[in-house]
């Protein structure tokens, strides 16, 4: 039986929207803004609210979306003929704005290259023209601290930056803790809105061949004492997520106080 994150909607909704604009916001991030009237019904919960993004693989192609029944959509997705099946990847709501009867949503896409060319969603994000259709399947939030949490420990690479930035923005103003964010380039470091009691440590990689997440793990090992009633959220490249969890557990934090998720695999 599938195990679903506790805060995932039991009847996730599929929304459709169109690209409004796309812009490079830093060396590694492309921000794609989508909008529609239907998005006004999206119940944005802030924090790391995420969704499955669908778009046609062929520019100008029609968007065929899977049927959603309760939490089931994958089998219907696979029934779409491969030549017409949309691309599907997971993304975080970087920002959400209501605009009269409609709404706009920003997606901050990490640009990653394969053999010198942009690949996957990154290529779409850079090239998407206004009006390009997208589908968006609401998946809720992963961040789920116990009610007695006394300290927050947030760790992410660039793929988890939109999630950690959203959590920092929405934590209670008296929250205390540490956030460690690893990014590829100094130009990806931007001021974040965070409670005064949460120390935000940016770590940047020194060369493109470096193992993603290594510097974030080093920073985590040098982190102040983790309290028994801390709650940790560790996301990003798969090894960062698993090793981050191991490091925190060895430091005395119970496994059920750690949310960890491999957002992608190197
Ligand atoms: C809950 C959740 C929220 C997420 N939010 C965001 C977000 O807001 N922004 C964001 O950019 N990503 C986010 N991700 C990660 C994103 O889903 C993955 O990076 C995804 O693999 C990208 O799809 P793709 O089609 O570009 O690459 P894929 O087709 O999945 O992979 C193709 C190749 O690209 C490589 N690759 C994939 N992602 C990266 C990366 N980030 N850096 C370097 N190489 C990579 C893979 O190793 C593979 O070799 C999130 C993931 C999850 C689970």
Domains of the chain, by residue range, sit at 14-138, 151-264
Domain 151-264 listed as CATH 3.40.50.80: yes
| Confidence category of residue 2, pLDDT binned at 50, 70, 90 | low
The arrangement of secondary structure in 14-138, i.e. its CATH architecture, is: Beta Barrel (2.40)
Q: How far is CA 230 from the centre of its chain?
A: 22
Residue 131 token pair: 């009006």
pLDDT digits (tens, 9 = 90+) for 144-189: 999 999 999 999 999 999 999 999 999 999 999 999 999 999 999 9
For range 31-43, the mean pLDDT:
97
Q: Which residues contact 230 (CB under 8 A, 6 or more apart)?
A: 149, 150, 151, 152, 153, 177, 253, 257
- The alpha carbon of 159 and the centre of ligand 1 are apart by a number of angstroms equal to 7
pLDDT of 9 higher than 90: no
Question: Nearest to residue 136, comparing CAs of 42, 7, 242?
Answer: 42
For ligand 1, what atom is nearest to the CA of residue 139?
Answer: 1
pLDDT of 1 higher than 60: no
pLDDT at position 168 is 98
Protein residues with CB under 6 Å of any ligand 1 atom: 50, 89-92, 108-110, 112, 114, 119-122, 159, 162, 261, 263-266
| Confidence category of residue 77, pLDDT binned at 50, 70, 90 | very high
Residue 220, classed as helix, strand or coil, is helix
């Amino acid at each position: 039986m599938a195990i679903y994150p506790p805060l995932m909607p039991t009847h996730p909704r599929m929304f459709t929207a169109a690209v409004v604009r796309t812009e490079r916001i830093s060396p590694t991030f492309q921000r794609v803004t989508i909008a529609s009237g239907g998005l006004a019904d999206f119940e944005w919960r802030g924090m790391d609210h995420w969704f499955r993004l669908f778009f046609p693989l062929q520019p100008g192609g029609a968007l065929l979306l899977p049927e959603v029944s309760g939490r089931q959509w994958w089998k219907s997705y696979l029934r779409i003929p491969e030549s017409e099946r949309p691309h599907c990847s997971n993304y975080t709501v970087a920002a959400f704005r209501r605009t009269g009867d409609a709404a706009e949503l920003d997606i901050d896409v990490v640009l990653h290259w394969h053999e010198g060319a942009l690949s996957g969603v990154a290529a779409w994000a850079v090239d998407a023209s206004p009006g390009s259709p997208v589908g968006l399947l609401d998946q809720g939030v992963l961040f789920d601290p116990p009610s007695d949490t006394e300290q927050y420990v947030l760790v992410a690479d660039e793929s988890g930056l939109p999630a950690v930035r959203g959590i920092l923005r929405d934590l209670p103003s008296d929250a205390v803790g540490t956030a460690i964010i690893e990014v590829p380039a100094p130009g990806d470091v931007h001021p974040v809105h965070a409670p005064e009691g949460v120390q935000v440590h940016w770590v940047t990689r020194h060369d493109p061949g470096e193992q993603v997440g290594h510097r974030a793990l080093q920073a985590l090992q040098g982190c102040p004492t983790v309290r028994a009633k801390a709650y940790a959220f560790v996301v990003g490249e798969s090894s960062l997520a698993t090793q981050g969890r191991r490091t925190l557990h060895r430091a005395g934090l119970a496994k059920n106080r750690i949310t960890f998720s491999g957002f992608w695999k190197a």
